[in-house]
Structure 1
Amino acid sequence: MNAHEIFADFIQRPIDAVESLPNLNAQQLNTHPAGHPNSVAWLLWHTGREIDVQLSDLSGKQQVWEEFRERFGLGELGDSVGYGHTSEQAEQIKINDQKLLVDYVSACAHALGEYVASLAEVDLDEVIDSNWEPPVTRGIRLVSIVDDAAQHVGQAAYAAGAVVTTS
């Protein structure tokens, strides 16, 4: 296996996980289990946004969000990524359509996979952020993006299990 094949498999994991979530109704998607500020809807929206924004920064291409913004109807808050959201802001992210969330996360992850496939392996070693010690390479940033996505989808799966069993 080469780096491209490994990454293709790696990026498929959050896609498979988000597609395997139980079917949730609007109330379940937007419930904040145990009063936590992050609902399943917020976690999935955030997963897509974090992939999308970072990919756009890396590739110089337009965000996938441009194709989804109107369908989400979240206004300016939807254009954010969610890092640093207050509880009140997180609660404003209300999405009643699970398929829309799955489609957005999947589209972002597929775009990330296409971007990686377009790179030469030597591109993965390019330092893209020297503000860290050690400096961050393109490859490390790509791994970080997928790792973050996998963690948030895992949190969404946990929260989905909690809201399904209490409904």
Structure 2
Amino acid sequence: MNAHAIFADFIQRPIDAAHRLPELTGEQLNAHPENHPNSIAWLLWHTGREIDVQLSHLYGKPEVWESFRERFDLGELGDSVGYGHTTEQARKIQVSDRQLLVDYVEACLRALADYINVLAETDLDEVIDTSWETPVTRGVRLVSIVDDATQHIGQAAYVAGAVTAAS
């Protein structure tokens, strides 16, 4: 198995997990259990944004967000990534369409897979960020992007289980 095949499998897993999320109402998507600032909608939106922004930086292509921005209708706040959002800002990320959220996450992950497919395996060893104590290679950044996506979708699934059990 080569790096491309490993990444293809690795990327498919959060896509599959996002599709397995239960059908949720707008109220459930935007709920804040235990008054937590991040809803399921925020987690899925943020998942897409963190993939999208980092990929655009690596690939030098426009963000996938460009084709989703109007459908989300989140204004300037939607253009952010979510890191450092105040509780008030996080609560303003209101999306009532589960499929739109899943479609955006999937489109970002598919774009990531397309990017990886144009790389040579040696490209994965290139240092792309020297601001860390251990410089970050392209491969490490790509693993980090998919790992973050997997964690956030897992969080969304956990919260979805909690809000659907409470209904």
**Fold shared per TM-score above 0.5:** yes
Q: Who is 2:51 aligned against?
A: 51
Q: Who is 2:33 aligned against?
A: 33
- The answer for unaligned runs of 5 or more in structure 2 is none
Q: Who is 1:166 aligned against?
A: 166
CA-to-partner distance for each residue in 1:115-157, whole Å, 9 max, x for gaps? 0011000100000001112100000000000000000000000
Q: Who is 2:8 aligned against?
A: 8
Q: Who is 2:70 aligned against?
A: 70
Q: In the TM superposition, what are the counterparts of 1:1-167 in structure 2 within 5 Å?
A: 1-167=1-167
Is the partner of 2:128 in helix, strand or coil? strand
Is the partner of 1:141 in helix, strand or coil? helix
Is the partner of 1:4 in helix, strand or coil? helix
Q: Percent identity?
A: 73
Distance across 2 between alignment mates of 1:33 and 1:15: 24
CA-to-partner distance for each residue in 1:10-63, whole Å, 9 max, x for gaps? 011110000000000100000011111110000000000000000000000000
Q: CA deviation at 1:6?
A: 0.2
CA-to-partner distance for each residue in 1:63-87, whole Å, 9 max, x for gaps? 0000000000000000000000011
RMSD value, Cα: 0.4
Normalised TM-score (structure 1): 0.99
Is the partner of 1:128 in helix, strand or coil? strand
- The answer for unaligned runs of 5 or more in structure 1 is none
- Count, aligned residues: 167
Distance across 1 between alignment mates of 2:35 and 2:157: 17
